[in-house]
Amino acid sequence: MLESRKIIITGAGSGIGKAIVKECLRHQASVIACDINEQSLNDLKKQLTNRNDALHTYQLDVSNYKEVSNFFEYIKANHSDVESLVNNAGIYLAKSILDYPVDEIDDVLDINVKGYIYFSQLFARLMFRQQREGVITNITSVSGMEGSSDAIYGSSKAAILGLTKSCAMNFSPLIRVNAVLPTMGFSN
């Protein structure tokens, strides 16, 4: 089902994003992997040398609108056939709301919410301009529904649930928008 698809994945250098990249490549998709950490992207490319023709990397800060805008100029010039976006970039600081300084509140909300908004907006503009169907998958968390001991993180993930529903309404029928809500795994 992913064969021959071209997919943008944010937060692709580690964790869930890295796993999504590997799975997409395993299913013969092409991936544009984005991350703020250039070294993580270089390591990813080295690990996946057998699929380097299908893996493209791009270093950027998802919370910086100018960088995201420049990225979509790159996409228009080099990957205009992209058809899917996985919004995954995020941070979790594991703090009580009582311990958050204002700059860290801003960091979490800028990355976990604004990054998704920026990518969704610019991806949708590209699809609408080209009158092509597309897919957006937002990686959020059960913390967005159930709450979290890190209230700022939980709030950011709740915002993504709302963003997903609103974008689905705004972008229908051209772009399908869904959310995936992972949880922390527990083992005995």
Domain boundaries, the chain: 6-180
Average pLDDT score, the chain: 94
Q: For residues 36-42, give the mean pLDDT.
A: 96
- Find the farthest-apart pair of alpha carbons in the chain and give their distance in angstroms, rounded: 51
Q: Percentage of the chain surpassing pLDDT 90?
A: 87
User: Looking at the chain, which runs of residues are DSSP E strands?
Assistant: 6-9, 30-35, 55-59, 84-87, 134-139, 175-180
* 110-144 pLDDT, tens digit each: 999 999 999 999 999 999 999 999 999 999 999 88
Separation between Cα atoms, residue 76 and residue 79, nearest integer Å: 6
- Peptide bond before 173: cis, by omega within 30 degrees of 0? yes
Nearest to residue 62, comparing CAs of 39, 33, 89, 83?
89
Categorize the per-residue pLDDT at 185 as very low, low, confident or very high, splitting at 50, 70 and 90.
low
**Are residues 89 and 117 in contact, defined by beta-carbon separation less than 8 angstroms?**
no
pLDDT of residue 187 exceeding 50, the answer is: no
Question: What confidence score (pLDDT) does residue 12 get?
Answer: 97
- What b/e string do you get for 84-108 counting C-beta neighbours within 10 Å, with b at 16 or more? bbbbbbbbbeebeeeebeeeebebb
* 80-96 pLDDT, tens digit each: 999 999 999 999 999 99
Is residue 92 annotated as part of the catalytic site, yes or no?
A: no
* 141-180 pLDDT, tens digit each: 998 888 899 999 999 999 999 999 999 999 999 999 999 9
CATH number of this structure's domain 6-180? 3.40.50.720
Structure tokens at 47: 């690990």
* 49-71 pLDDT, tens digit each: 676 689 999 999 999 999 999 99
Question: What confidence score (pLDDT) does residue 184 get?
Answer: 65
**Are residues 137 and 178 in contact, defined by beta-carbon separation less than 8 angstroms?**
yes
Q: What is the pTM of this model?
A: 0.94
